[in-house]
Structure 1
Amino acid sequence: MINMAARVALRAYPPSFRERYGRELEALVEDTGAGPRAVADLLVGALRAWLHPVMPEESAERRRRRMQASVATTWVTWCAALYALPMLHFVLSEEPGLAPDLVWRLLDVAQYAMYGAGLILLVGGLALLAETSRTGNQAAWRPLVALLPTLPTWLIAPLLLAFASIDPIDRISYLIGALAVLGPAAFLITMAVTPAVVVTRCRPSVKVLRLLALSGVAVALAVTTTAIACAAALTMNTVYAAHLVTMPILAVTIAASTAALVSSGRGAKAALHKEHPVDLGGDV
């Protein structure tokens, strides 16, 4: 018998993976048990399956899956860079004069680039929504429901932090402060993951998918500007404490920009291929 945690972990795998290996994996979990370690292994395997999607032998469908994976990866990397920017702003604004003017100008450029990329993603999302409305595949948007439990904690986080600061030693205040930090973090992670799942579940038409894949190159460049700004902030500062906080942010943005450039490049290459990918419609 598979428990709820194991079922959630199994559902975390990409649809293409579940179509090919879902039954075998579910049978293996039933035979070996679904303890905490098995659930953790399933979640790690799901992450690997998203990072390295199953590609069929057929070249046309392989290109389609490549574009789909590129679009999902680009969205996640954009979210990572978008979250890193305000954190970097906060660190550098703690002490006036900590960062040179050049760093602030680069941060402004990165911010405008990220906003522009957000508009590109919004247009792509609207195109995807219009197509699913036309084909009756609205069920593909169900993963967005996962945002509802964590959205309230993100909205009231400032109030929770203010309440927790009244008596930070009190245990209840400590728990409220932890909720004020972990709740928004859970919301932001969910916000990065669920739209990527929706793109995979929707199985967009070739026309929409090529539009999303090609626009992903501009989004990747915007993510790269954030990494450049973070690198400048780290190299131009001499304050050791600022380095300790900036280095993890830099690591995240460099990883995001690298993944975005590589994945968007592969997606654009597949989109520009002369032979059109096969068109798969229908619900997942």
Structure 2
Amino acid sequence: MIDMAARLALRAYPPSFRERYGCELEALVEDTGGRPSVVADLLIGALRAWLHPVMPNESAERRRRRMQASVATTWVTWCAALYALPIVNFILSEGPWPTPVLVRRLLDVAQYAMYGAGLILLVGALALLAETSRTGNWSAWRPLVALLPTLPTWLIAPLLLAFASIEPFSYWVGALGVLGPAAFLITMAVTPAVVVTRCRPSAKVLRLLALSGVAVAFAVTTTGIACGAALIMNTPDAAQLVTMPIPAVTVTASIAALVTAGRGAKAALHREHPVDLGGDV
């Protein structure tokens, strides 16, 4: 039997990957057991499967899956940049050193870029929702239910942290105030990407999502450059070692966004045959 952690790790793989290799991978996990190292390998493999999806031989279906993977990955990178931006603002506001005007302007540009990208993503979500209302494929949106158990931890996190600061021995309360919102943010980044894959949008909607992902990728890159420059320019050398993971995450998200958005746009603009990339399923 596969334990819950391993089963969740298997579910983290893209649907196209599970369709092709799901049974073999599940049998392998049953043979090796659900040890923590196996679960970690599964999660790393799931990340690689999302970044480098399995493509079939048919040209139209390859383009479809490439665009789906591009849209899903672009959303995840936007979430990573969106979460990093307020952390950088908080670090700079709480630091004992004054924030230069140039650094503040960089962060303002990044903030406007993320807001603009959020509007673009909202338009894409509305287009996907409108198509779902026509097709009736509401079951594809079921992964969003995973947000419900983690949403309360996000809402009450300030109260938990305030209580932990008053009562120093309530370490578990402080941990819940930190880990709960983290779980919500991770779920918020992953579940919409799964929804896009499960919905199997029509060619028209999928091309819209893939092409709009280019603008989102540039917004993510702008944020990555601004966050990295702000921390490097406005933190002492000793503090840079502590803050280094933040620019590392934003730079990684920027590179992933540009690469995947470029591939998705190339697939969206490819018109080899007048064949729809897949009808409503």
Query: Normalising by the residue count of structure 2, what TM-score does the alignment of the two structures yield?
Result: 0.94
User: How far has the Cα of 1:12 moved from its partner?
Assistant: 1.7
Alignment gaps of 5+ in structure 2: none
Amino acid across the alignment from 2:280 = G
Task: State the partner residue of 1:281.
Answer: 280
CA distance, structure 2, for counterparts of residue 43 and residue 128 of structure 1: 28
% identical aligned pairs: 82
User: How far has the Cα of 1:21 moved from its partner?
Assistant: 1.2
Residues 238 and 174 from structure 1, CA distance in 2 versus in 1: closer, same or farther, beyond 3 angstroms? Answer: closer
Residues 232 and 35 from structure 1, CA distance in 2 versus in 1: closer, same or farther, beyond 3 angstroms? Answer: closer
Matched, 1:198 2:184: no
User: How far has the Cα of 1:64 moved from its partner?
Assistant: 1.1
Match of 2:247 among 227, 246, 250: 250
Asked if 1 retains the 8 angstrom alpha-carbon contact of 2:92 and 2:234, the reply is: no
* 1:268 alignment partner, SS class: helix
User: How far has the Cα of 1:232 moved from its partner?
Assistant: 2.0
Task: State the partner residue of 1:112.
Answer: 112
User: How far has the Cα of 1:277 moved from its partner?
Assistant: 5.1
* 1:236 alignment partner, SS class: helix
Asked if 2 retains the 8 angstrom alpha-carbon contact of 1:63 and 1:277, the reply is: no
Query: Normalising by the residue count of structure 1, what TM-score does the alignment of the two structures yield?
Result: 0.93
State how many pairs are aligned: 279
Please, what is the CA RMSD of the aligned residues? 1.7
CA distance, structure 2, for counterparts of residue 127 and residue 33 of structure 1: 43
Shifted more, 55-64 versus 74-83: the winner is 55-64
State how 1:1-284 maps to structure 2 within 5 Å. Answer: 1-95=1-95, 98-168=98-168, 170=169, 173-237=170-234, 239-275=236-272, 276=275, 278-282=277-281
Asked if 2 retains the 8 angstrom alpha-carbon contact of 1:70 and 1:213, the reply is: yes
Amino acid across the alignment from 1:202 = C
Deviation sequence 1:101-123 (CA, Å, 0-9, x none)? 01101110110110010010011
Residues 141 and 203 from structure 1, CA distance in 2 versus in 1: closer, same or farther, beyond 3 angstroms? Answer: same
Residues 277 and 267 from structure 1, CA distance in 2 versus in 1: closer, same or farther, beyond 3 angstroms? Answer: farther
Deviation sequence 1:65-95 (CA, Å, 0-9, x none)? 1111100010000000000110000111113
Amino acid across the alignment from 1:214 = L
